[in-house]
Amino acid sequence: MKRATFGALISHWQKHPLQLLALVVGLAIATALWSAVQAINSEARASYARASAQLGFSGLDVLIPENGTIPVTSYVNLRRAGWKLAPVIEGRWRLPKGSVRLIGIDPLSHPSASALTDATTFKLVNLTSPLQIFLHPNTKEKLDGIPDLPPITLTDSLPTGVVLTDISIAEQLLTHHGQLSRLIVLQNKSIGLTPLAVLAPNLILQSANGSQTGRLADSFHLNLTAFGFLSFAVGLFIVQGTVGLGIEQRRNLFRTLRAMGLSLNQLVVLLLSELVLVALTAGGIGLILGYLLAGALLPDVSSTLNGIYGESVEGELALRPSWVLSGLGMALFGTALASGHAFASFYKMPILTIPGFQSRAHTAGTGYKMMAITGSGLIVTGGIAMVLFDGLLVGFALLAGLMLGSALLLPLLLSKILTIAEKAASGALSEWVWADMRAQLPGVSLAMMALMLALATNIGVGTMVSSFRLTFLGWMNQRFSSEIYVSVNNDEQASELVNWLDSRGVTSLPIRWAEISSMGIPIRVYGAMDHSRYRKNWPVLQAVETLWDDVFIGSGALINEQLARRLNLWPGDELALSTDWKVTVSGVYSDYGNPHGQVLVSLSNLLHNVPDVPNRQFGLKLPLKEVPALMKELQEDFDSRDILAIDTTDIKARSLAVFDRTFIVTGALNLLTLGVAGFAILTSLLTLWNIRLPQLAPIWALGVTRRQLAWLELLRSLALATLAAVLALPLGLLLAWVLLSIINVEAFGWKLPMFLFPMDWLRLLGLAWIAAIIAAAFPAFKLARIKPSELLEVFAHER
């Protein structure tokens, strides 16, 4: 009985293979995009864990500062109190050929010292004498040409992109004098010792299982997850549409089966079995696609994480059982979620009722209102959460509320717009077209939601990236206003260089800074000479009128946006750089890409408070056409071990290349989401095909040709895509504003100005049109070529 019944149920798909294809492909795509992102994330996390284990940081608790760094005095106090700790200094060491992660450890107390002194690996004991630096062979290229480095030992035991050395060398290279990054807690038991929370209330004890990755990299993974989830949701729209239709079309069959003695529960179990079968098949296909997609995207993700966030992702994509199981689980969960509504209606509706397309169209109004109320509730909840709470997750909650809420508002909005259009239509045919579109809405609204979300995401993320790029370009031009930047090794070489430059009439501006710690935050204080370069070019966001005069007479200071936001200091506020060094904030400047606080004071003010600031870097001002000649002369007249000169154009080009590479993944996911939305329209139009004919045949009988009807199908799809695009625009811009003004501030500490890119909107509208035309082309072609006999079947009642 069950086998025969199951066979009868499944025979529906034999009759409607396109519907089955839409269901399987929709679910496979949803699973593929979600699992691709999960594969990338888990690969990255596994890589971080591998790197952590290689460096001996895994399995141990770590003390980290609330803000900035840990003063050496705190470390000494804890040691005196009996705590066994291993100090670590860590930071990005910026080099002409990119940056590396520089880690300084104390070889005598480092937890893995004994393990790492294995004869087959590198001898950590060598760290003591003579002082060396250790790195992976693949990292060596970045250090080529750097003068006066300690001896280098190459080892495969370290991850790529990491340089390990003695803490004293790291302190010099990073200029983190007396400032530690973290303390590894070497003992688990603390009997008889004063608790760490009492001894060092400003330090946070991070458990062995806690995240070792930076906050920025975490937010990047969160972003990827959000994208994956959005794509998953868009894919589920396809599933919901096809499952609902599959149940509705089989109501006659259900009625017959019930009449033959099948209970409702038995029928539900059989339908669920059918869905599980489909979910597992589609999930399996999705996993294969997801694996391939992750493999394609991983190199770009790795490059992004390495270039911007300083995290290294190595190795090939591994097929993890947990990933396979979670992917199949998501396919089953997604199917259950997308089928829930259809099953609920199936339970509620009397079995003898055969709901058709006609009743759906006119009973949909109440459903639209309920959806709109829920959607408005979600938007308001997101807004309230943002007002009441802070943090990155709340920002994402606001985004989720906005996106989902707007999607739920869409059917009601579209219905109202189409009603207005119908009333405004003058011709009989156009009136029918608008009315027909409104009647079609229950069948296509999910696809329209998917399209609107995809377009809004494209507009939002595109506006964010383009605004960031434009701001970044402008900022680079302002910030790197010298034509050449030169570094030397000591003050004697600096004097020699300045004299050499003076003799050639080249203006040199010293770049001198000191690392200090104020209010527990590490701050780099720059000293600037009074020069038009600063007055004309510095990227100031907010300032008092007498900004530069205040700075150069020594009373004022400029601070970067990150510091301003972290300490809530704005023009007019006072900043204490030390107990007896106070300045008034005269202005705030943008400083993109730098996670740390910065202050700019006059050079005399800096030297007065920190007399031993080294003088080893200079910005050279000269006409652009003279740059190549001067670079050549510098190379000829100075030993390359003593001097490092970089052409600004080169810095800008490299920075921009890193920037663009960062957003390759975002662009790819954007396009994929749009593709899925296009597919959602196609599947909804195809699944509607059979119930469309009874709507179209009478119009054909009234004298509208099949060719005209086919064109109208195309125009209908275009009109719906245009409406979705028009409604997606304000949502996309709102999304961009949230990303630029809320998420960025929470994640990175800087706010970006928002620019509008109407040409990009037109390009997106074009893409939406292409998706709509491709989706409607097949049904329209079918309609144009349909045989009259097929249309006549609608009226037939004898043959």
Partner 1 sequence: MLLSVRSVSKRYSDSPETRAVLCDVSVELKAGTSVALTGESGSGKSTLLNLIAALDHYDSGDISIDGTSLTGLSDKARSMMRRTEVALVFQQFNLIPSLTVEQNLSLHARLGGRLDLEWISTLTQRLGLSDLVDRYPEQISGGQQQRVAIGRALAVRPKLLLADEPTGNLDETTSSEVMKLLMELIQTSGASLFLVTHSSRIASQLERQIHLSEGSLQ
Contact residues: partner 1, CB under 8 A: 357-359, 361-362, 427-429, 431-432, 435-436, 438-439, 694-695, 697-708, 788-789, 791-792, 794-799
Nearest in space to 528 (alpha carbons), one of 593, 592, 589, 594: 589
Task: Give the CA distances from residue 205 to residues 62, 184, 216, 348, 604, in Å, rounded to whole numbers and listed in that order.
Answer: 6, 10, 20, 55, 40
For tokens 């730098």, name the residue: 594
Q: For residues 109 and 797, what is the distance between their CA atoms, to the nearest angstrom?
A: 92
Nearest in space to 94 (alpha carbons), one of 635, 594, 513: 594
Residues 6 or more apart whose Cβ sits within 8 Å of residue 198: none
What tokens were used for 794? 């609608």
134 touches 103 (CB < 8 A): no
DSSP symbol at 462: H
525 touches 606 (CB < 8 A): yes
Nearest in space to 170 (alpha carbons), one of 104, 262, 236: 104
Q: Is 90 helix (H, G, I), strand (E, B) or coil?
A: strand
Runs of H (alpha helix) within 612-701: 627-637, 648-662, 664-701
Q: For residues 282 and 277, what is the distance between their CA atoms, to the nearest angstrom?
A: 9
Nearest in space to 147 (alpha carbons), one of 500, 636, 486, 620: 486
For tokens 């579109």, name the residue: 437
Q: Is 358 helix (H, G, I), strand (E, B) or coil?
A: helix
H or E segment and range at residue 17: helix 17-54
Q: Please state whether the peptide bond connecting residue 87 to the residue before it is cis, i.e. omega within 30 degrees of 0.
A: no
Q: Give the Cβ contact number of residue 385 at 10 Å.
A: 16
Q: Is 85 helix (H, G, I), strand (E, B) or coil?
A: strand
70 touches 58 (CB < 8 A): no
Task: Please return the burial class of 636, using the count of CB atoms within 10 Å of its CB with bins 0-12, 13-18 and 19+.
Answer: exposed
For tokens 């064109």, name the residue: 711
Q: For residues 636 and 623, what is the distance between their CA atoms, to the nearest angstrom?
A: 20
HSE toward the beta carbon, residue 775, CA cutoff 13 A: 33
DSSP symbol at 680: H
Amino acid, res. 460:
G
Q: Is 186 helix (H, G, I), strand (E, B) or coil?
A: coil
Q: For residues 187 and 105, what is the distance between their CA atoms, to the nearest angstrom?
A: 18
What tokens were used for 191? 């009997």
